[in-house]
């Protein structure tokens, strides 16, 4: 196992606030580097297949961003116990992801070489972002940062043997993987050509879809062009990626402009605060949500004006007004299937979709074993129940048409069991009720129920009824939408 420091007591720790990694966390360039690293990860056949089959990054990119950010904070934090616990959680998560790609080749998210490539892309993209922004790292800084990333891999795998020990050997390893292993995978194509163009609005900006669509129509292609131009030339050539005129200059300008943030006063840019803000539901009890709600009203006015001046093609959805009363309303079967059931965004319901629900709930509740496995097992039983009832053509998954045609009542025994297991996991103190703090841990948003009328608690029966109403009654719900439906 790699040690916490690079050797002597006076050297900078490999983890914690003094690490080189931590210095990049609030750097705007890091956003561009992370997109680039994600494409290089997705271009690896093993990783690309795992992403295509199991990831929610298409349907729920903002949720995926938040969870990834928090995980990396834990892994690179200064608390060894928290890092060990997060590494164990990640290993359990990845151990549940295996299968075959569309070529019939097996993939396994626990494959050591593939996991090493993920770490390699993060390190190489950090070095590249500094070079492209005109602030290249000196050799000592690169050596120290490479040691940090190898320590990160060791925390996951028990050792870092899949990555070269010396930095000067790393570059040959990286070039060999790019030349010999990377492919134009479906996952890489989705990130470059679908995700940016169809990126859903974050929860807090979901009330002005016209304005968001107009901004996305400009920013999406630019981000795609910048990312393609920043990829290694051998991969761009082998994958047949287009070379847009002026894209290298645009890429250089984007990195240099982001690099100017170093002149801002320290603390002006806080990535964690920005991600938390984007993740807030408009109905959240967070004071920042009320401020953004007022801003949202202004945005809606601008959105309406934009729609009058430059109408979009087709029939864009109107700006949504806040729901009255309890914040709940009926949603169509198609919307329920797309927003809630189809977590991976592939147009079908199968086990990875329900596994994604279990993963999100376990992440919110920060579950350890055996509670995490109990939750997964409950969702697995629900999937078997759904498959038996709805998979009419026997292809092993449920299509939107099969779901809509059946118009089923999903509140069978297995779903009731999911609700009961979720209640037990949320009820941390085991007193048979959920108090306001326990509820907030799960939902991180305002709870439109007067807890004072029930002595400040939420009973098992009420919890199960509300959960079933949302999951089977296709009723939009202010607490549950940010958890399972919002992007």
Q: What is the pLDDT of residue 201?
A: 82
Contact 156, 110 (CB under 8 A): no
pLDDT at 2: 42
Cα–Cα distance, 151 to 157 (Å, whole number): 10
Element (H, E) at 211: helix 209-230
Alpha-carbon distance 165 to 167, whole Å?
7
Alpha-carbon distance 384 to 389, whole Å?
A: 9
Residue 391, classified by CB atoms within 10 Å of its CB into exposed (0-12), middle (13-18) or buried (19+), is middle
> 42: buried, middle or exposed (CB in 10 Å: 19+, 13-18, 0-12)?
buried
Q: How far apart are CA 173 and CA 180, in angstroms?
A: 11
Say what the pLDDT of residue 287 is: 61
CB proximity list for 459: less than 8 A, separation 6 or greater: 432, 433
pTM, entire model:
0.83
**Cβ distance 36 to 227 under 8 Å?**
yes
First-to-last alpha carbon distance for the chain, in angstroms, is 37
**Segment-wise mean pLDDT, segments of 10 residues, the chain, 487 residues:** 42 82 86 94 96 89 86 90 95 94 92 97 96 93 96 95 97 97 94 86 74 86 92 94 89 90 78 72 59 61 58 45 44 82 91 94 92 96 91 90 73 90 93 88 62 69 88 69 77
The full length of the chain comes to 487
Residue with tokens 């039983």, as numbered in its chain: 381
Q: At 91, which helix (H) or strand (E)?
A: helix 80-95
> What pLDDT score does 321 carry?
40
Domains and CATH numbers, the chain: 20-261 (no CATH), 330-485 (1.10.238.10)
φ/ψ (deg, to 5) at 54: -125, -20
Q: Quick one: pLDDT at residue 10?
A: 47
Residue 310: per-residue pLDDT? 56
CA distance readout (Å), 408 to 322, 387, 400, 471: 29, 12, 12, 11
In eight-state DSSP terms, residue 316 is P
């Amino acid at each position: 196992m790699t040690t916490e420091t690079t050797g002597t007591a006076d050297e900078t720790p490999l983890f914690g606030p003094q690490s080189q990694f931590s210095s990049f966390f609030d750097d705007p360039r890091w956003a561009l580097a992370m997109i680039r690293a994600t494409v290089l990860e997705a271009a690896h056949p093993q990783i690309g297949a795992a992403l295509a089959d199991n990831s929610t990054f298409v349907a729920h990119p903002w949720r995926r961003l938040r969870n990834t950010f928090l995980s990396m904070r834990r892994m690179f934090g200064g608390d060894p116990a928290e890092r060990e616990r997060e590494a164990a959680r990640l290993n359990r998560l990845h151990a549940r992801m295996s299968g075959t790609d569309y070529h019939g080749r097996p993939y396994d998210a626990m494959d050591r070489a593939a996991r090493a490539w993920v770490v390699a892309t993060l390190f190489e993209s950090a070095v590249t972002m500094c070079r492209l922004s005109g602030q290249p790292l000196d050799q000592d800084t690169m050596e120290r940062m490479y040691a940090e990333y190898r320590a990160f891999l060791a925390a996951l795998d028990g050792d870092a043997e899949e990555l070269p020990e010396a930095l000067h050997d790393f570059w040959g390893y990286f070039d060999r993987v790019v030349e010999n292993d990377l492919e134009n995978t479906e996952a890489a194509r989705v990130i470059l050509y679908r995700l940016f163009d169809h990126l859903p609005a974050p929860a807090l900006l979901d009330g002005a879809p016209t304005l968001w669509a107009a901004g996305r129509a400009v920013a999406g292609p630019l981000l795609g062009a910048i990312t393609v131009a920043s990829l290694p030339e051998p991969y761009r050539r082998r994958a047949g990626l287009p070379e847009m005129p002026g894209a290298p200059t645009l890429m250089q300008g984007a990195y240099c402009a982001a690099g100017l943030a170093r002149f801002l006063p320290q603390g002006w840019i806080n990535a964690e605060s920005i991600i938390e803000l984007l993740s807030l539901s408009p109905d959240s009890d967070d004071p920042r949500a009320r401020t953004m709600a007022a801003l949202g009203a202004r945005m809606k006015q601008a959105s309406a004006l934009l729609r009058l001046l430059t109408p979009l093609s087709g029939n864009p959805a109107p700006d949504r007004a806040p729901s009255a009363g309890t914040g709940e309303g009926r949603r169509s079967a198609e919307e329920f299937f797309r927003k809630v059931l189809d977590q991976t965004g592939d147009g079908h319901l199968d086990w990875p979709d329900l596994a994604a629900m279990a993963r999100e709930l376990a992440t919110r509740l920060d579950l350890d074993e055996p509670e995490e496995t109990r939750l997964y097992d409950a969702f697995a039983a629900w999937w078997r129940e759904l498959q038996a009832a709805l998979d009419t053509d026997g292809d092993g998954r449920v299509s939107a048409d099969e779901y809509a045609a059946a118009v089923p009542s999903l509140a069978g025994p297995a779903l009731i069991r999911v609700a009961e297991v979720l209640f037990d996991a949320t009820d941390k103190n085991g007193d048979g009720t959920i108090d306001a703090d326990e509820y907030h841990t799960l939902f991180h948003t305002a709870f439109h129920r007067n807890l004072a009328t029930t002595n400040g608690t939420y009973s098992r029966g009420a919890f199960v009824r509300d959960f079933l109403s949302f999951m089977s009654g296709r009723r939009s719900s202010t607490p549950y939408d940010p958890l399972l439906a919002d992007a």
